[in-house]
Chain A
């Protein structure tokens, strides 16, 4: 599959070849694809969402050539039983607050678009796990979005989505942490800051992104107390059609390493 430019840019000054990687929050498999394309020795792509796990296997797992698939049982079991798998990939369904990997077992951790879906408590727990599984000298790449500027129309949609999430689940759906915040968070856990890059500016929130967030808000609104839920669902639908798409904000990439 194509490696998006964002991922390619975040990785192009990192040493990936031959490393053992944790892709934290596998999502669409984009960063996983980038790590494999850059020659990672092993990629543990972890997500707590079985749909995302399937997507990652489907998009990234099939390498198209007949890679020997006789390796360990954990390596990329495709659902469809195809033979062409990349045996460097293990897609793991697990909670990142308790990563099923031993201490000091990975050389590179990527969190590409992960932190914004973690509330502060989850972020803190996940950061703790990163420190545990990272070997001495390991690298960390954190790609995420700055908080949106005041004038951004899409902020309203995210506000409604967060309101529905708070009411339904007791936590926000999205938190945009400033680059400086995450930099200090990881620095506080011993990660030495190496560099910051701007991946996207503005960030293109396409019609399909907007629609997906509206759908998410609507489905959480269904779990809300009745009056509030209906109002939030209606508001998110209205906002989505009003906004359509919007290019606004910034996506950044931070890189760190642990001392040896």
Chain B
């Protein structure tokens, strides 16, 4: 599988990052198998968070067995110094490892949160201490918030080494500032900050819970994913060709093999095909505004 340098981290990430939330929906044995399966394809970057149910615990055994082969990203939704330290300790415990390669501010959504994490008593102060102590190697940030907020974060956090944000043809087809994650990609590239794409496989929102109760949804993604192999491939190619360092796989384990296949076969997407995909989904409703409310 192709690799690309993740900003200035010195790590070359595979074009696909395994989104370990998929493990949350499996028993331990199935989780072990899925991690082996992912590693068989050569994937070397795994992303997890404490808020993904049991995913940290279920990743633990295979992570420890293959620690050297895996660049591990984890996150915290805590915004304070103390909160960040607390969740970092908890994640290290639950994962059963000595250090996390990339620790990320999770789901930044409001301006006040950016003020909070960059303040004296903010989460980033804890990140920096942890980095000095060798508990984390690199600092990142994730958001499905307003692109301007992510741009601000890129400007204000000097030691930021990666950003994770949504990018797909629905988003790329909209010109307004609210969807301009391409500007985030461009700014991150300028700063040599690594870029990780989420929601590459989002097809739209789920029908209302009146129409389709949550328990009847056929996939464990909180958006409606594309599910046909051809569509998965197009979406992967689109996101990877857009210039992201790596594309994070979707949250449902049923989709992971198709995404692995697409990632393994990836060899670019020409501009006319890229536009073709944007044009096709242009009228689809973007799932991104919905995500702003979580």
| Contacts A2-B173, A5-B173; A201 near B276 (Cβ below 8 A) | yes
Say if the beta carbon of A221 comes within 8 Å of chain B.
Answer: no
Q: How far is the CA of A247 from the CA of B279 in the complex (A)?
A: 11
The 5 A-B pairs at the shortest CB distance, nearest first, are namely: A204-B280, A201-B272, A198-B272, A5-B275, A200-B276
B175: nearest chain-A partner, CB-CB: A2
How many chain B residues touch A (CB < 8 A): the figure is 16
Fill in one digit per residue for A177-201: 1 if any B CB lies within 8 Å of its CB, else 0.
0000000000000000000001111
A to B CB contacts below 8 Å, 20 in the list: A2-B173, A2-B175, A2-B282, A5-B173, A5-B279, A9-B271, A9-B275, A198-B271, A198-B272, A199-B275, A200-B276, A200-B279, A201-B276, A202-B276, A203-B276, A204-B280, A206-B283, A245-B280, A247-B280, A250-B272
Which chain B residue has the least Cβ–Cβ distance from A33? Answer: B175
Q: How far is the CB of B21 from chain A (nearest CB, A)?
A: 31
B276 near A4 with CB under 8 A, answer no
A37 to B98, CA, bound (A): 54
For residue A149, give the distance in angstroms from its CB to the closest CB of chain B: 15
* B279 contacts A4, C-beta separation under 8 Å: yes
Does B63 sit within 8 A of A, measured CB to CB?
A: no
Are A206 and B272 interface neighbours, CB within 8 A? Answer: no
Report B-chain residues with C-beta under 8 Å of the C-beta of A2. Answer: 173-176, 282
Contacts A198-B272, A200-B272, A202-B273; A6 near B283 (Cβ below 8 A): no
Within 8 A of A (CB), among B255-282: 270-273, 275-280, 282
Bound together, the chains give a CA A3 to CA B278 distance in angstroms of 12
How many residues from A make CB contacts under 8 Å with B? Answer: 18
Query: Which residues of B are at the interface with A, using a C-beta cutoff of 8 A?
Result: 173-176, 270-273, 275-280, 282-283
- Residues in A lying within 8 Å of B, measured CB to CB: 2-6, 9, 198-204, 206, 208, 245, 247, 250
Using Cβ atoms and an 8 Å threshold, which residues of chain A touch B271?
A: 9, 198
Output the nearest chain A residue to B230 by Cβ-Cβ distance: A247
Nearest CB in chain A: distance from B182 CB, A: 12
- A257 smallest CB distance to B (angstroms): 24
Which residues does chain A contribute within 8 Å of B278, judged by CB atoms? 4-5
Could you list 5 further interchain pairs (A-B, Cβ under 8 angstroms) beyond the known A199-B275, A204-B279, A247-B280?
A2-B174, A2-B176, A201-B273, A204-B280, A247-B276
Complex Cα–Cα for A198 and B283 (A): 22
- How far, in angstroms, from A70 to B183 measured CA to CA in the complex? 37
Which one of A3, A200, A206 contacts B275 once the chains associate, using CB atoms below 8 Å?
A: A200
Q: Cβ of B279 and Cβ of A3 under 8 Å apart?
A: no
Question: Closest chain A residue to B176 by CB distance?
Answer: A2
Task: Provide the residues of chain B in CB contact with A4, threshold 8 Å.
Answer: 173, 278-279, 282
Nearest CB of chain B from residue A208's CB, rounded to whole Å:
7
The answer to whether A6 touches B173 (Cβ under 8 A) is: no
